[in-house]
């Protein structure tokens, strides 16, 4: 089957995809989330793209790729761009970050902190400013008589005194800068995943994302899931190792972000960090050993606001680091950020939000009632524990379809396949099930029993590797092969069984069936790339019509961005933390039976 190149502007992303795929599939493969309210039926007209060079407008969900294409994406066709407009957030969200800058001309600058406070308060009506002791000490070191360019005060809203209903708020001046630097005010969002870390540099003046960077969580060397990391951190020294690893990781990403955007890290004044409870506690250097034993309780469920210099993070030393509330021992602030981003607290119909990663978090319900669970899916969908598995990097098989009696592969980077990532893994298992190569229990069928039912090309791919059956996906000219083994299939079963158990127990709590779910929102970098048909085929998702499944991308990062930019969103996150009820699935009476049933394809 032919493959064609599709270039997306203004992103500058280029991917290779098989003929017959739709542009919305191509966009998804490029990591771009488009609006598709109707679920790809072509009814809502929300996924309009422009074909270059003539600007022909087409629907991404209907236009089939039959040749190389260059397309432009209008801003209103993006899923999350509707929430991040020129003023930062849509009309339903008031942009009001907790940090701001106040500029004072030379004549208003004064060495006496009390006089300077009065001048600040006069210049900013309805706001109260208190100069911190550190800022007062800084004032003494400034020669105000020669400060012809004036002075900029860095003001942080005290979270203990933040009153959304009040016309007046109290700001603490933490530091001063020479001259007018009000145009340089930035923030960071950091989504600390068990396997990956994603950081974004945000312009706090207008809400724009200036740069994005991601990397593997270096804590992986101490264990590929939270259980192993909790076990590792049995002493304070070991916990410090994990803390240093993530702190250095965030600092490294910050350096890259600042280099990409050409700014100085001293102009970063606020950071919003989200992650599961274990990642949250490690970052804050809070005890985590209690998370590894029943009843798996968090040391703290609260949001925290900490000065940057206390956590040794590369940003303005007087800056503030905000970590979002946790829900329970294994459901943290990243789940709250997802729920906020997709408006779970406003859902009229039964909605399921799924963030699939090493730890899968699920939230089910409506605006009236929300429940959450955590599922130990393990790192299989991240490519770990899979013989030829990898993360979504160049050379990884990311999609598989059957065509003309054989399989066709989409490979990241349009190069020779070297591995298989999570989305390709789900496709592969779905294909093996459809072809009858594996049965509902996940067991490979003996080749002799299927040889009359399979095309010769596919039959030749059933091989034996190290004494166990396997399926050959690709073999390169250098002899390097990519294949799936029986053990790989079992790892997929364990991962999907954990996720399925989670949503089944959630449904049982509401006394609902799969069909009662009106909308499924797939979050996370991985969730964006999977084909819903394949996910449904292997039982990873509830059995619903495919048009009820929507991709929402890295919703945790989007929610963190909203919390960074908006005091109202920060308050909503706090309310969500109280509203979402956690279910410890392992303690549910039906857990063992549901899990056993969920292992079956």
For the segment 93-121, what is each residue's pLDDT rounded down to a tens digit?
A: 577 889 999 998 877 777 788 888 888 88
Helix (H, G, I), strand (E, B) or coil at 384: coil
Q: Where in the chain is the domain with CATH 3.30.420.260?
A: 333-377+500-598
pLDDT (mean) for 383-397: 87
Whether 291 shows a pLDDT value over 50: the answer reads: yes
| 79 pLDDT more than 70 | no
Fold of 3-77: Ubiquitin-like (UB roll) (3.10.20)
Q: Taking the alpha carbons of 95, 101, 105, 109 in that order, is the dihedral positive or negative?
A: positive
The pLDDT score that the predictor gives to residue 86 is 28
Residues 6+ apart with CB under 8 A from 24: 34, 36, 40, 47, 60, 61
Asked if residue 123 has pLDDT above 80, the reply is: no
Q: Which CATH architecture has domain 333-377+500-598?
A: 2-Layer Sandwich (3.30)
The residue-averaged pLDDT of 42-56 equals 89
User: What are the residue ranges of CATH 3.10.20.30 in the chain?
Assistant: 3-77
pLDDT of residue 165: 62
Q: In terms of CATH, what superfamily is 186-323?
A: Domain of unknown function (DUF4445) (3.30.420.480)
Over residues 508-544, the pLDDT tens digits come to 999 999 999 999 999 976 777 889 999 999 999 999 9
Cis peptide before 317 (omega within 30 of 0): no
Give exposure, 559-573, as e/b (b: 16+ Cβ within 10 Å).
bbbbbbbbbbbbebb
Residue ranges, comma separated, of all CATH 3.30.420.480 domains in the chain are 186-323
Phi-psi map region of 146: left, alpha, beta (phi>0 left; psi -120 to 50 alpha): alpha
Phi, psi (degrees; rounded to nearest 5) at 88: 100, -50
Q: Name the pTM for this structure.
A: 0.84
Name the nearest CA neighbour of 31 among 53, 57, 6, 56. Answer: 6
């Amino acid at each position: 089957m032919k493959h064609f190149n599709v270039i997306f502007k203004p992103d500058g992303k280029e991917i290779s995809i098989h003929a017959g795929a739709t542009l919305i599939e191509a966009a998804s493969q490029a990591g771009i989330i488009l609006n598709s309210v109707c679920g790809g039926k072509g009814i809502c007209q929300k996924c309009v793209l422009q074909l270059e060079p003539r600007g022909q407008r087409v629907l991404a969900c209907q236009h089939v790729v039959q040749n190389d294409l260059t397309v432009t994406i209008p801003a209103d066709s993006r899923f999350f761009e509707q929430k991040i407009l020129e003023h930062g957030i849509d009309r339903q969200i008031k942009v009001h970050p907790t940090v701001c800058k106040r500029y004072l001309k030379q004549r208003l600058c004064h060495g006496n902190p009390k006089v300077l406070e009065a001048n600040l308060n006069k210049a900013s009506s309805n706001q109260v400013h208190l100069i911190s002791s550190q800022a007062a000490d800084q004032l003494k070191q400034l020669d105000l008589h020669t400060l012809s360019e004036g002075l900029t005060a860095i003001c942080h809203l005290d979270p203990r005194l933040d009153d959304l209903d009040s016309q007046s708020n109290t700001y603490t001046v933490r530091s001063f800068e020479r001259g007018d630097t009000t145009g340089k005010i930035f923030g960071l969002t950091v989504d600390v995943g068990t396997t990956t870390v994603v950081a974004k540099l945000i312009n706090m003046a207008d809400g724009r994302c200036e740069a994005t960077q991601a990397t593997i969580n270096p804590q992986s060397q101490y264990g590929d899931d939270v259980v192993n990391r909790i076990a590792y951190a049995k002493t304070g020294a070991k916990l410090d190792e994990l803390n240093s690893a993530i702190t250095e990781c965030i600092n490294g990403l910050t350096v890259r972000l600042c280099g990409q955007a050409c700014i100085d890290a001293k102009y970063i004044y606020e950071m919003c960090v989200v992650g599961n409870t274990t990642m949250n506690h490690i970052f804050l250097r809070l005890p985590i050993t209690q998370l590894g034993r029943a009843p798996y309780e968090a040391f703290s469920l609260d949001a925290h606001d900490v000065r940057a210099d206390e956590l040794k993070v590369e940003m303005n030393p007087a800056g503030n680091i905000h970590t979002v509330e946790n829900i329970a021992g294994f459901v943290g602030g990243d789940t709250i950020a997802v729920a906020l981003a997709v408006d779970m607290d406003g859902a009229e119909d039964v909605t399921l939000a799924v963030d699939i990663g090493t730890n899968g978090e699920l939230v089910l319900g409506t605006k009236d009632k929300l429940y959450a669970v955590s599922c130990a899916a393990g790192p299989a969908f991240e490519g770990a524990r899979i013989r030829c598995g990898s993360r979504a990097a160049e050379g990884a098989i990311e999609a598989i379809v059957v065509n003309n009696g054989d399989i066709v592969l989409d490979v990241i980077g349009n190069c020779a396949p070297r591995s298989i990532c999570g989305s390709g893994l789900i496709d592969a298992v779905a294909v093996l099930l459809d072809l009858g190569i594996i049965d509902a229990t996940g067991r490979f069928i003996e080749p002799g029993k299927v040889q009359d039912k399979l095309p010769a090309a596919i039959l030749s791919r059933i091989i034996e590797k190290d004494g166990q059956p396997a399926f050959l996906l690709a073999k390169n000219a250098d002899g390097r092969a990519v294949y799936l083994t029986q053990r790989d299939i079992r790892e997929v079963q364990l991962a999907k069984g954990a996720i399925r158990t989670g949503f089944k127990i959630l449904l049982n709590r509401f006394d609902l069936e799969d069909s009662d779910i009106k909308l499924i929102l797939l979050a996370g970098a991985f969730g964006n790339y999977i084909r819903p048909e394949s996910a449904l085929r292997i039982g990873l998702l509830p059995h619903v019509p495919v048009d009820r499944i929507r991709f929402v991308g890295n919703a945790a990062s989007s929610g963190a961005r909203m919390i960074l930019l908006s005091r109202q969103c920060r308050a909503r996150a706090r309310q969500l933390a109280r509203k979402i009820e956690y279910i410890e699935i392992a303690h549910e009476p039906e857990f063992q039976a549901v899990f056993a049933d969920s292992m079956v394809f």
